[in-house]
Every structure is written in structure tokens, then in C-alpha cells.
Amino acid sequence: MNPLDFTKLDGLITAVAQDWQTGEVLMLAFMNQEAWEETVKTRRAVYFSRSRQRLWRKGEESGNVQLVKEILVDCDRDAVVLKVEQIGGAACHVGYNSCFFTRIEEDGTEKIIKAEKVFDPEKVYGKK
Amino acid sequence: MNPLDFTKLDGLITAVAQDWQTGEVLMLAFMNQEAWEETVKTRRAVYFSRSRQRLWRKGEESGNVQLVKEILVDCDRDAVVLKVEQIGGAACHVGYNSCFFTRIEEDGTEKIIKAEKVFDPEKVYGKK
């Protein structure tokens, strides 16, 4: 298995999911060794949820899985880029296609740059 | 100042630098509060070097600064995307334009996907 460096971040590496067609960064998450190996093997994005402290097979609840089209490793071998096809069109639990929907303007104010949500979180995850 | 969540990663957030024109992911690094504030204020990428435990003004040694064209914050406010103009054409200390120059192929083998280095690290940083 392709050895990565999990020592710098308490057993984790960082993973950037990028839309394989548009290049838009969809989300940032973490992987432990097991998540990494399963991702390479299955070609579906598997992360490690820090809040839940367990493997997080992206889309396991929402159905919005990420089909991995390309995997890139960085020079330090502690970060990866996954070029993915995002099933359902939305990577973010808030309902936008990307988690990066807030822009910091030159004057320091913030602006939501997405026109609309792809899905309604309450319908996908239920009221919380 | 735009409040981000530095609590999840021992005072750091993750930062993805992306080429503002091609969308290519150039590198992944970390920021502490000071690096974040200086980045927003100066519109030049400033990171926090974990190995050196100090602010890392990208390009301070190589001259390859990153001019920040756009700043995006994610839904959890613990990750940012910087769309940058990479001066000198190379973000990676190895000499490639991007740190993500290694691809994991379907059969698990690895391939360098960059044709050539933008610069010779020995000339920029000196022999180490």
C-alpha cells in the first residue's frame, strides 16, 4: 500500500475533495490509515470523522457518495487531493455543492457566493 | 476580524492554495490566528509552519509569494481556500508548480504527472 505520513497529525492526513470536472474545491476532511486504504481500494471517498471518531464513508447517510476519479499525493505525503464525481451534486451537509460557499471580501465582510442550495438538509438528514 | 474555529486542531485551521486561474490545487498548509489575520489584511498567503513553529510568509525565502485573489471559508469555519497567483510559477519546494505531483494509479502504482520542474531547488534554496 502506498505509504503516507500519518505521524504529523495524530494518525491523520488531510484530504481535499475537488470536483473532477470543474476543479472546484468541495470540502476538506481527514483520513486515517484505514480510510486511506479503503478509498484507494474502493475508489469511493472514505474519511475519518474527528467528531464521531470513526470511519466516515461519505454519503453513507445522505446517499451523496463521492466516486474517486483521480488521487494525488503531495510532496510531504501527508495530504491528498481526490478528484471526485459528487453524486447528488452536493458535498456539503448544509446543502450547497461545496462547503466553501462563504467569501471574505476585500473590506472584511462576508458574502454567500452560492445562488441556491442543491438540497434541503432537513429533508435529507431529518430535523435535528 | 472574521472569526474562524481554531479549536479543533490545536490552534490551527487548514488552508488550501488553489491557482486562481486554472483551479489546480497547489498546496495544503496550516494557519494560526495570526497567519489568518495577516493573510486577510495583506492579501498575501501567510501560513504557520508546524515544523518550524512560526509564521511562514510563503515566498519569504524563495521569493515565490502567493498573491491572494479570493478567500473562501468553509461551513465549519475551520478550513479556507485561497485562490492565489503564484509568483515564480511554483508553489512546491521540490520545484514543481504544485505539491500534488504524484498520482496513485488504479493498480496502486505511483506516477509523477508533471513534465518538468519550474525551478531547481538547489539554486533557489542552496544545497542542503
B27: nearest CA partner in chain A: A74
pLDDT band at B76 (very low <50, low <70, confident <90, very high): very high
User: Cell numbers of B41, please?
Assistant: 489584511
Kindly provide the ipTM of the predicted complex, given to two decimals.
Answer: 0.93
Using the Cβ of B14 and the Cβ atoms of chain A, whether some distance falls under 8 Å is answered with: yes
Helix (H) or strand (E) holding B124: helix B121-125
Do the beta carbons of residue B84 and residue B68 sit within 8 Å? yes
Q: Distance between CA atoms of A97 and A88, rounded to whole angstroms?
A: 9
Q: Distance between CA atoms of A118 and A123, rounded to whole angstroms?
A: 12
Tally of CA atoms within 13 A in the half-sphere of A15 that contains its CB: 28
Whether the predicted model's global pTM rises above the 0.90 cut: yes
**Domains of chain B, CATH where assigned:** 13-89 (3.10.20.810)
pLDDT over 90 at B62, yes or no: no
The reported pLDDT for the residue numbered B127 is 57
Choose among B119, B47, B33: nearest CA to B82. Answer: B47
Provide the mean pLDDT of chain B. Answer: 93
Q: Mutate one of B21, B31, B37, B74 to test the A interface: name it (highest A CB count within 10 A).
A: B74
Using the Cβ of B93 and the Cβ atoms of chain A, whether some distance falls under 8 Å is answered with: yes
The reported pLDDT for the residue numbered A122 is 83
CA–centroid distance for B6 within its chain: 18
The reported pLDDT for the residue numbered A127 is 56
pLDDT tens for residues B32-54?
A: 999 999 999 999 999 999 999 99
pLDDT over 70 at A1, yes or no: no
